[in-house]
Each structure stands twice: as C-alpha cells, then as structure tokens.
Amino acid sequence: MIDGQPWTQERFPSTDNGILGPGYLRTLGIPLLKGRDFSDSDTADSPPVTLISESLARRYFPHEDPIGHRLKQSDPNLHGSPFMEIVGVVGDVKYDGLDAKSDMAYYTPYRQNFARNMYLVVRSSLPAAGLMLTLHQQIRGLDPDVVINPPSTLEQAMSESVAQPRFRTFLLGLFAAIALLLAAIGIYGVIAYSVAQRTHEIGIRMALGAQRADVLRLVAGRGLRLTLAGLGIGVVAALAVTRLLSTLLFGVGPTDPLTFVAMATLLCAVAVVACAEPAHRAMRVDPMVALRYE
C-alpha cells in the first residue's frame, strides 16, 4: 500500500518484489530514471528505502514526483511491515519472458530485506565457462555447504525465453512458405489454362493485327486482375482472423499495416512471375495454328 492513498485489494494488487544489492541495476543495464540507486549505507540500521518501476510510478503517481513518498509491502490488515521511502524510479523489466508484459515492481536493498535464496549476477568480458568455474570455486571457499544451482548466462536465459515462440514462428513461416508456393502454382495453373482455352481467340486477334504486346497485356492483365481480387478477399479475411494470433506476436500488432503491405506486394510479385511464362507462350502463338486450334 502507499501512504496517503486509500487501500483496496483491487487498487493495490500483488506486485513483484526484487531484493537487490548495490550495482545490480548497472550490471544488468536497467536504467535509473529518477532519484538514486541503493548504496552501502542502506543497512538494517538505516531507514527503509525502496526503488519502484516506471510502470508502478506511472500508475500510482501519474501527476507527481514519487520520490519521497512511502509504501509498504502488505495491506493494512497485516502488521510488521514498515513503510519504505521511495528513493528512485527504474526502468521496467520483463522478468517473465520477452513476450510477457512488464509488470509493476518495487525493489528493496538486501541488507534491509534478507532472503535465503539469492542470485549472483556478474558482468565480465571473460569467457563464460572459465568465469563460472572461478565463481564456483570462490563461493565454495567462503561456504563449502552452500547449495549452488547450475549457473547460466543471460544469452541462455533469453534463448530459453524465446524457444517456444521461435519454434512456433518457424512452423508458421514454413506453412506460409508452402501456402505461397501453392498460391504461385495455382496462379500459374489458372493463367496457363486460361491461355489454352483462349488460344483460338488469341489467333483471331493476331490475325486481325493484334501485336505481341497486346497479347501480353491481355494475358498478364487477366492474371493480375484475378490476383488483386484474391488479395482483396484475403486481406479482409486476414483482418478478421489475425487477432487469434496476437499471443504469438512480439513487437508487432495483429493488424500491422507494414506487414499487410509487404505480404500483398510479395504476392503481387509472385503473380507477375507466375503469369510471365503463360504470357510469353501466348506471345509466340502462330496465328494459323491458333485458328485451327480446337
């Protein structure tokens, strides 16, 4: 709860709490937006302090500076939790994965809020494998009985976070490529069949003086008109169903205009390529042969 603001469970939902040591923000590159970071002077004998995330500050202090205000870790029905002074505002962090929302959070210094389970975060230019071995030996030297979980790098954590979305994206990309190939084959087949059906007509046109460019426009224009009609129907259908894929998207909206324009342009290019061979074949039709064509 926040000192001076009426408390309700709905207004103050459960919020993530991180216990940090000095230098944590700098090590992970989390920006300090306002105020100060924790320091060595923030001990159990000093007044309780806290850092809050940008999203928490935006929600509870939309029109004022949160520095100097106080909050506590629990609702007023629970006792023993002191008010802590807000000394800084930091950037939001996606602790639950890159595809998750940045939830509100507040942080307390570890010397004022001791926890049995802790994480050691190290930034170094040394190779990760050798550094992990050195850290393991140093920790064992301080306490041989301490339980050390298997270490990992930030790159590994990020890779694990996006492993499933990356696999789903690969499958969707594969299916999209197959669909694009089928669309190209379908366009080619329709145009080729149309040319075959109109061979007699093309022969008459050429016998009456039509030029090869006229035949090219006739064949390609029909193919492009069919493609544009299909694109129009496809865009309308896509706008209706893409919201079902919103949970699979990251950094882009389900109706992103750039994506729609890029895909429409790509399909038009596929249609042009698919129409090229039938159109070129129609240009080479011998009028005498075409006139006898059944």
Q: Where are the domains of the chain?
A: 16-121, 162-291
Q: Pairing mode, if any, of strands 49-53 and 70-71? A: unpaired
Sequence-ordered list of residues with C-beta below 8 angstroms from that of 222, at least 6 positions apart, any chain: 191, 194
What local confidence, expressed as pLDDT, does residue 19 receive?
85
The tokens for 19 are 């216990």
Are 285 and 202 within 8 A, CB to CB?
Answer: yes
The tokens for 271 are 């249609």
CA quadruple 101, 103, 107, 110: dihedral positive or negative? negative
Computed on alpha carbons and rounded to an integer, the radius of gyration of the chain in Å comes to 33
What local confidence, expressed as pLDDT, does residue 23 receive?
84
What local confidence, expressed as pLDDT, does residue 7 receive?
66
The tokens for 88 are 């800084």
What local confidence, expressed as pLDDT, does residue 33 receive?
92
The tokens for 206 are 């050429």
What local confidence, expressed as pLDDT, does residue 176 receive?
81
pLDDT tens per residue, range 75-109: 555 556 788 899 999 998 887 776 667 778 888 88
Sequence-ordered list of residues with C-beta below 8 angstroms from that of 147, at least 6 positions apart, any chain: none
Q: Which residue has the tokens 């224009």?
A: 221
Q: How far apart, in Å, are the Cα atoms of 42 and each of 51, 88, 110, 190?
A: 12, 13, 9, 75
Rounded to an integer, what distance in angstroms lies between the CA atom of residue 118 and that of residue 110?
A: 9
The tokens for 157 are 């954590």
In the chain, which stretches have pLDDT less than 70?
1, 4, 7-11, 13-14, 74-80, 98-100, 115, 195-196, 199-200, 244-254, 279, 282-283, 285-294
| Burial (Cβ within 10 Å: 0-12, 13-18, ≥19) of residue 151 | middle
| Burial (Cβ within 10 Å: 0-12, 13-18, ≥19) of residue 71 | buried
Cα–Cα–Cα angle for 128, 131, 132, nearest 5°? 85
Rounded to an integer, what distance in angstroms lies between the CA atom of residue 274 and that of residue 285?
A: 19
